[in-house]
């Protein structure tokens, strides 16, 4: 991307002007997952402010953008009301687009993909299908084998999926919004 480019693009796409951040650090202080991130939210803001392509790429490759759990605490406490959660959503989309997803975050993405696959085919989330799809994508085949029987016994795991009648409309929504990925990735 050209110099000058990304700050303006981000502002156009998300309404977030990264230059408004004055580095008070309240977002990082209140962030539920800052301690697990490679760059806490205030640092992501600072990196983007530099308008430097290397820093931009570092953010796109970071674990931080995938660890953001969208709890909205940063936005709530930001004295400048900067919508960091929307910025994180945008950075995730960009990271995915240019195939820069952080290696340690692949399982988080696998889960999102398996979730959307389930919704794409039935219109509703089918939890057994979601977990099966996630296991295939992440190869975590044995995870939660001890929880499933309890859930089943308590009637929390219906065997058959709930299916929307107008499946065609659901698949149209997916294809028209460009969400056409399928299969493990």
Partner 1 sequence: MEIGFYPGCSLKGTSSEYAQSTLALAKAFDINLVEIEDWNCCGATAAHNINHELATALPARILALAEKQGLTEIVVPCAACYNRLTVAQHEINKNPELKARVAEILQMPIEGKVQILNVMQFILKYISDKITDKVTKPFEHKVVCYYGCLLVRPHDILQFDRLEDPQSMDDLMRKIGATSMDWGYKTECCGAGFSVSRTDIVAKLSGRIVKDASDRGAEAIIVACPMCQSNLDMRRPHINSYLQTKIETPVLYITQAIGLAVGLDRDTLGLKKLFVAPSFA
Residue 89 tokens read as 């959503």
Q: Please, what is the minimum distance in Å from the beta carbon of residue 45 to partner 1?
A: 18
What's the Cα-to-Cα distance from 93 to each of 20, 52, 78, 164, 168, rounded to whole Å?
23, 19, 23, 27, 25
Enclosing H/E stretch for 6: helix 5-14
Query: What mask, x for binding partner 1 by CB under 8 A, covers residues 28 to 67?
Result: ----xx--x------------------------------x
User: By CB under 8 A, is residue 147 in contact with partner 1?
Assistant: yes
Q: Please, what is the minimum distance in Å from the beta carbon of residue 72 to partner 1?
A: 4
Short-list 68, 93, 102, CA closest to 45: 68
User: By CB under 8 A, is residue 7 in contact with partner 1?
Assistant: no
Inter-residue contact 171 to 122 (CB < 8 Å): no
| Separation CA 184–CA 134 (nearest Å) | 9
User: By CB under 8 A, is residue 143 in contact with partner 1?
Assistant: yes
| Separation CA 185–CA 181 (nearest Å) | 8
Of 1 and 124, nearer to partner 1 (C-beta) is: 124
User: By CB under 8 A, is residue 185 in contact with partner 1?
Assistant: no
- Helix axes 127-138 and 106-122, enclosed angle (nearest 10): 140
User: By CB under 8 A, is residue 176 in contact with partner 1?
Assistant: yes
Using CB under 8 A, list all residues that contact partner 1.
Answer: 32-33, 36, 67, 69-73, 75-76, 81, 83, 85, 89-90, 92-93, 96, 107-113, 115-116, 119, 123-125, 127, 131, 134, 138, 143-144, 146-147, 150-151, 154-158, 162, 164-166, 169-170, 172-174, 176-179
């Amino acid at each position: 991307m050209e110099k000058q480019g990304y700050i303006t693009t981000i502002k156009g796409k998300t309404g977030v002007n990264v230059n408004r951040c004055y580095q008070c650090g309240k977002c990082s202080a209140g962030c539920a997952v800052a301690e697990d991130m490679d760059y806490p939210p205030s640092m992501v803001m600072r990196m983007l402010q530099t308008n430097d392509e290397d820093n931009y790429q570092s953010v796109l490759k970071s674990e931080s953008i995938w660890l953001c759990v969208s709890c909205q605490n940063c936005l709530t406490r930001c004295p400048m009301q900067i919508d960091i959660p929307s910025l994180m959503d945008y950075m995730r989309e960009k990271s995915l687009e240019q195939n820069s997803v952080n290696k340690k975050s692949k399982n988080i993405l696998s889960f999102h993909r398996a979730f959307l696959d389930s919704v794409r085919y039935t219109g509703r989330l089918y939890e057994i299908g979601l977990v099966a799809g996630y296991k295939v994508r992440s190869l975590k085949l044995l995870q939660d084998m001890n929880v499933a029987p309890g859930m089943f016994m308590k009637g929390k795991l219906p065997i058959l999926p709930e299916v929307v009648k107008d499946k065609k409309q659901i698949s149209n929504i997916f294809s028209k919004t460009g969400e056409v990925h399928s299969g493990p990735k």
